[in-house]
Amino acid sequence: MNETLALPPRLVMRDLLLTAVTQKARVFLIFFCIMALTIVVAVQVQPDYKAKSSLLVLLGTEHAFRPAAGQQFMNSGSVDAEQVLRTEASILGSDDLHRTVIREVGIEKMYPKLFKKPGPVEQWYINTRRFVTDTLGLTEPATGAADAVDPMVRAIDAFTHNLTITVDKKSSVIGLDFTNPDKTVAADALRILEAQYFVLRSKLYGDVQAPIVQMQQDAVGKQLADADSALQMFKKEHDISNFSERRAVLLKQQGDLETALTKSESTIAEQTARLTQLNQQLGSVTGAKKGNPNAAAALQGMVHAYQQRQEDAQTHYRGSPAVDEARRQMLERETDIARMQATQAYGVQTDRNKTEADLRSSLAGHDAIAAQLTALNTQVRDLDAEELQLHQLERSRAVLEDNYKAVSKILDERQVVETVEANRQSSVRVIEPPGVPALPQPIRRLILLAGLVVSTLLSIGSILISHFFRAIYLRPEALEMDTGLTVLASVPEMRTIGGPSGSVLVVPG
């Protein structure tokens, strides 16, 4: 390499131009070959059409905290707009959403090349790429037939590569671009992507709690029905149509029996006192001191005594007629008195017998009333025990009924909320719907431009290489700089003039 760069710039540029002129055939060949190859590649490349769309993301209630059914709403603070945009972009970039779009459009229609048999060059490229990835451990080694990749997996990878999601944080706008060789397919894919995105978004953000509350209502309703059945069965088994009325009836009967028992006891006391009084009267009439007086026995004793006195009078007291008459009259008066006493004794005895019979009847009635009162007291005690069970059953039923009303209220409110949310407009709005692109992507122009740049650079590189690595000197100054000697003369460039015979004539150029 000579010291050309040490020369003045104007001389260097002249030498470079002189080298380009001398090497014009090589430069033209390089430029022509590269441009020809670029044109061939540009012709073979199929241009893609890009469908565009944009979405406006607004902050909605789906991005805020949503309490469970029945709980009070609590403000959890402001929502981060950047986080919302990232979330929406992640939903748009999900593989499941892409798979749904590919299936709806048709994998054969969207990517027909996946079902074509690759050519030799493409197969060589696939095998080389697979070998490199397997060697570097980027993928699992292929194992024969299992190496066949599912076309859907490859289609999803291609879809993700063709889809461009741009997030503008300042304007809260998400831009969508999708490229495909078929402009109709590109527009349809983007349109279906947005439609399925709204469907998937409604599922993800949907806060459907009504079925859960409905299950709770059904469970509480079943418990309430069981409580009603247990309460009715208890009333039926214990013959309780109305507990309050039955209790009032039993207490009234208990009061009546207690009143009747008190009256019976009073009557028995009166009859006992009357019987004692009659016994005393009968004793005073008959002269009985011990035991129960008996009017018939007393009368028989009086008659027997009278007869005895009469016989004694006839046997021992016979005398003058006056004395006999006096004694007779005295006996008659005694007989009258005895008869009066006997009559009185019979009356007292009759009253005594009646009083004694009434007393026995009163005692029997008292015993009957006492037995009825005892049985009624037992029923009241049993009713008190049943009242505790009844109150427990009624309390359980009341609690379940309140729970059922509360759950029903929550269910009604939740159904209203979910109905409003289902009919509410989405917080993501379509600014620019996808349309069919009119012009393809300028991929061919880019390829031609790249080929032009590459050919130009290679041509310039060829000129520079020829200039800096040549074995001759174009300038005496360069020779003097390399050798350090003074150049006295130089041979100018000459051109060869002659024919095929090989004779040469050198003349100044």
CA atoms within 13 A on the CB side of 410: 21
Residue 303 inside a domain? The answer is yes
Amino acid in the structure at residue 178: F
Cα-based torsion angle of the residue sequence 163, 165, 166, 171 in order, rounded to the nearest 10 degrees: 130
Residue 264 inside a domain? The answer is yes
For residue 98, which of 160, 53, 150 has the smallest C-alpha distance? 160
- Where does the pLDDT of residue 99 fall: very low under 50, low under 70, confident under 90, or very high at 90 and above? very high
176 versus 44: which is more confidently predicted?
Answer: 176
Residue 144 inside a domain? The answer is no
Residue 290 inside a domain? The answer is yes
- pLDDT of the residue at 98: 92
CA distance 109 to 267: 116
Last residue of some domain: 394, 423, 452?
423
- pLDDT of the residue at 193: 92
3-state helix/strand/coil string of 313-379: HHHHCCCCHHHHHHHHHHHHHHHHHHHHHHHHHHHHHHHHHHHHHHHHHHHHHHHHHHHHHHHHHHH
Reply yes or no on whether the pLDDT at 140 is more than 80. Answer: no
407 and 483 inside one domain: no
CB atoms inside a 10 Å sphere around CB 128: 10
Amino acid in the structure at residue 27: V
372 and 414 inside one domain: yes
Reply yes or no on whether the pLDDT at 499 is more than 50. Answer: no
329 and 470 inside one domain: no
SS3 30: helix
- Residue 302: exposure state from Cβ atoms within 10 A (0-12, 13-18, ≥19): buried
pLDDT digits (tens, 9 = 90+) for 376-386: 787 777 766 77
Handedness of CA 208, 209, 210, 212 (dihedral sign): positive
457 and 380 inside one domain: no
Amino acid in the structure at residue 139: T
Reply yes or no on whether the pLDDT at 39 is more than 80. Answer: yes
Helices (H), 66-177: 81-92, 95-105, 107-110, 120-136, 151-162
323 and 357 inside one domain: yes
CB atoms inside a 10 Å sphere around CB 439: 9
* pTM strictly above 0.85: no
Residue 126 inside a domain? The answer is no
For residue 269, which of 366, 172, 340 has the smallest C-alpha distance? 366
CA distance 349 to 293: 9
- pLDDT of the residue at 266: 84
Query: Is residue 240 a contact partner of residue 386, using CB atoms and an 8 Å limit?
Result: yes
- pLDDT of the residue at 102: 92
461 and 416 inside one domain: no
Per-residue pLDDT, averaged over 159-182, amounts to 89
pLDDT digits (tens, 9 = 90+) for 16-36: 777 777 777 888 888 888 888
Reply yes or no on whether the pLDDT at 1 is more than 50. Answer: no
268 and 334 inside one domain: yes
pLDDT digits (tens, 9 = 90+) for 41-81: 777 767 778 889 999 988 877 766 666 666 666 555 566 77
- pLDDT of the residue at 474: 62
19 and 91 inside one domain: no
- pLDDT of the residue at 240: 65
419 and 455 inside one domain: no
CATH at 328: 1.10.287
Q: What is the mean pLDDT of the chain?
A: 75
Residue 490 inside a domain? The answer is yes
Per-residue pLDDT, averaged over 455-481, amounts to 71
Residue 130 inside a domain? The answer is no
Query: Is residue 20 a contact partner of residue 27, using CB atoms and an 8 Å limit?
Result: yes
Query: Is residue 102 a contact partner of residue 155, using CB atoms and an 8 Å limit?
Result: yes
Per-residue pLDDT, averaged over 246-274, amounts to 80
For residue 213, which of 424, 64, 417, 73 has the smallest C-alpha distance? 417
Q: Which range scores top for mean pLDDT: 102-116, 138-152, 332-346?
A: 102-116
Reply yes or no on whether the pLDDT at 432 is more than 80. Answer: yes
- pLDDT of the residue at 191: 92
328 and 389 inside one domain: yes
CA distance 507 to 269: 183
61 and 5 inside one domain: no
Per-residue pLDDT, averaged over 416-421, amounts to 76
SS3 74: coil
CA distance 469 to 411: 90
Its domain, for residue 5, covers 1-47+442-509
Residue 24 inside a domain? The answer is yes
Reply yes or no on whether the pLDDT at 230 is more than 80. Answer: yes
- pLDDT of the residue at 501: 43
Count of structural domains within the chain: 3
461 and 329 inside one domain: no
- Indicate the range of 184-198, 209-223, 297-311, 348-362 predicted with least confidence: 297-311
